[in-house]
Amino acid sequence: MAIINNGKTFLLNTADTSYAFCINPQGLLRHLYWGRRIVHLQDFEDIREPGDNGYYPRVDRTMEEFSSFGMMRYKETAMKLRFADGVRDFRYQVADTQIQDDMLTITLTDEHYPVKVELHYQVFEADNIIKKWCSVQNMGSEKIVLERLYSGVYGIPGNGYEIINYNGQWAAEFKRSSESLNGGKKVFESLRGSAAHVANPSFIVHKNASEDNGDVYYGALEYSGNFKVTAEATPYDYLNILIGISDTDFAWVLESGETFIAPAVYSGYSDAGFGKMSHTMHEFAINQLAPKVLAKKPLPVLYNSWYATIFDVQSKNQMNLADKAAAIGTELFVVDDGWFGERQDDFRALGDWYVNEEKFPNGLNELIGHVNHLGMDFGIWIEPEMVNKDSDLFRKHPDWAYQFPNREILEGRNQLVLNLTREDVLQFMIDFIDRLLSDHNIAYIKWDMNRAVGETSLDGEDIDEMKEVWVKHTQGFYRVIDAVRKKHPNVEFEACASGGGRVELGAMRYFDEYWPSDNVDALDRLEIQENYSLIYPIKYMRAWLIDPSEDKRKRQVPLEFHMHCAMCGSLGIGNDLNGLSQDQLDQIKELVVSYKDIREIVQFGRLYRLCNYKKDDIQAVQYVKENRTVLFVFLIHMKYDKEYYQVKLKGLHKECIYDVEIHGKHLKKSGAYLMNHGIEVKFAGDYSSHLISLVECQA
């Protein structure tokens, strides 16, 4: 049974984990346990309560399942609200507990004020994931202002943990940061109106864990707006972790009867290091969160002409590229930025979503027909949330962009952000995307967002109501993408935000893939891809080949190395195909054929991060699905003439015999040999790489 309880103690069990909390003698919701499975409920009775002390009260000493500012709580708390008379603490009692199948709801009410907080839990037993979210309802007649509401609180006993998150920026997403938590608070936050590149709305907490060993506690938020992750090493020998909407510029006014629902957080525990965490999250994301229509379908190999033509998009040059893209085996041809309005550069025309007649004298359908005739689907780029000052849209509706009175309006990448709290703006966005998809045979949309949200103003005089703007903005974004997807359920949507600014579970609900970074340097990508893969699934990780010789300042790596790197995710090609020799095109074509053969394994298989080039000189990534395995190995720099590296595989059946295709030969090796002894891989100098494929041939 997923949820066991005796009215006081609640034990939430998944296949491999347990999560326990109770209503303690003081009526507090006390967190008791998170870890390996323990199914005996009585084990959690008679657990000593922390003592009380004037300066260090029990509410702070207790690992609480939910906490509210006030009442002599000085730690980071899940909620802060304000009643009409100025009282700002919430003194709760557990008013009700409800269990229905895999769902548990705990209702908290205040001892005096008419407010109801509900804590919701859903146990995904087979997936080893627990979903948490909470809501606050005003049950009275006077307004209540919410000033903070995290989605989930987690307590982990002990001290000296490390938290993994990211310290990235544009073209440097997923730069891993690992911080020791020995005292005080560590905060990861976005105030940019999206998850953005700097940090991620997730947490990974551990003590000396490795890929295969150690306890790892993790969670990821389903939200595409401002977020905050706070990890507080308390003096009371436990870690207090909170994740949810950022409270930095947040407020929500609850009028009589109104409810605010915080976004969900999905959390899990691994007793076998980061590897098991990634397997759990990857499989859960695809099985439970990804939009159903395309969730189980492998992504097509795409060609995107952005780097080939930048803003010089013309029907003719696109048709020419399409011929070449089809010849190398790509299945989806994508026209990026530059096809609409007077878009000659990034200074103008965002918002003018009509086909540029000079660039496409016979309309877009001529190109689409050509692409379809070549056997490929057609895709296109849009950036719906933005507008340029130099656009018909802004000239007509200057008030549609966020701006503060008495302030000069600020531009980012020469553009402004549309006010997504306005109905007319949302309708405009829904209509233009719907029209684009209805009038053309478009199979894929790349949805971009190239600047952070700012100057978020709302009409009115109530400062609390104004601070609702960030959440309302995110809700507006969801309204648009939801409406469009409902109307066009078979169209594939990619979430791009100037690279990886929208890699999070809120976007996953509506998108079929992410563009994780504009950085396509092969070596940087190995790092970005490894760190991305901790939480987020491989299918969602679009990875492109871009001609390494295009930018001479950049590292020159062989095409095969680059291609292998891109084949570690959902493959795309972004080269100027006119700049490649026939030999290079043939080589790409051959590798595209290999990729199509292995893509189910890469996109849906279990990922094993075997070696990391910073520690092991080589990077090795393995994917296992049913009876097949693929392994990518990369040598960065040859050292001391060392040609051979031993790579130990993982996740195989030790008794099975595998046919190993390596260096043009077929070897027969047992799973036990491959995992314990390893295979010897020969490298041919700097930046050499291999794709090695294995299949079970005998049980």
Cβ distance to ligand DGJ smaller for residue 307 or 604 = 307
Q: How far apart are CA 305 and CA 299, in angstroms?
A: 18
Residue with smaller CB distance to ligand DGJ, 337 or 527: 337
Q: Report the residue number, 56 or 347, with the smaller CB distance to ligand DGJ.
A: 347
We find the least distance from the C-beta atom of residue 517 to ligand DGJ, in angstroms, to be: 8
Question: Rounded to an integer, what is the distance from CA 176 to the centroid of its chain?
Answer: 15
The neighbour count for residue 552, using CB atoms within 10 Å, is 7
Q: What distance in Å separates the CA atoms of residue 498 and residue 172, rounded to the nearest whole number?
A: 11
Contact status, residue 533 vs residue 607, Cβ threshold 8 Å: yes
Catalytic annotation, residues: 448, 518
Q: Which residues bind ligand DGJ (CB under 6 A)?
A: 306, 336-337, 381, 448, 450, 496, 498-499, 515, 518
| d(C-alpha 683, C-alpha 647), whole Å | 12
- List, in order, residues 6 or more apart from 469 with CB less than 8 Å away: 421, 456, 457, 458
Q: What are phi and psi of 82, to 5 degrees?
A: -135, 120
Nearest distance, CB of residue 168 and ligand DGJ, angstroms: 14
**Ramachandran region of residue 318, left (φ > 0), alpha (ψ -120 to 50) or beta?**
alpha
The residue among 303 and 515 lying less far from ligand DGJ, judged by its C-beta, is 515
CB of 364 to ligand DGJ, least distance (A): 17
Pick the closer one to ligand DGJ by CB: 421 or 450: 450
**Torsion sign across C-alpha atoms 440, 446, 451, 456:** positive
Are the beta carbons of 543 and 564 closer than 8 angstroms?
Answer: no
In this structure, what DSSP letter does residue 50 have? P
Helix, strand or coil for residue 697? Answer: strand
Minimum distance of ligand DGJ from residue 498's CB (angstroms) = 5
Write down the least CB distance from residue 451 to ligand DGJ, Å.
10
Nearer to ligand DGJ, 476 or 574 (CB): 574
Q: Are 539 and 299 in contact (CB under 8 A)?
A: yes
> Which residue number, 155 or 499, has a Cβ lying nearer to ligand DGJ?
499
> What one-letter code names the amino acid at 558?
P
DSSP sequence for 260-294: EEPPPEEEEEESBHHHHHHHHHHHHIIIIIS-HHH
User: How many beta carbons lie within 10 A of that of residue 45, not counting itself?
Assistant: 10
Shortest CB 343 distance to ligand DGJ, Å: 9
> How many of the other CB atoms lie within 10 Å of CB of 62?
23
- Closest contact distance (angstroms) between CB of 326 and ligand DGJ is 22
CB of 113 to ligand DGJ, least distance (A): 48
Could you list the beta-strand ranges (E) of 419-521. 444-447, 492-495, 513-514
Three-class secondary structure of residue 91 per DSSP: coil
Residue 400 or 515: the one with the smaller Cβ distance to ligand DGJ is 515
Cβ 686 vs Cβ 638: under 8 Å: yes
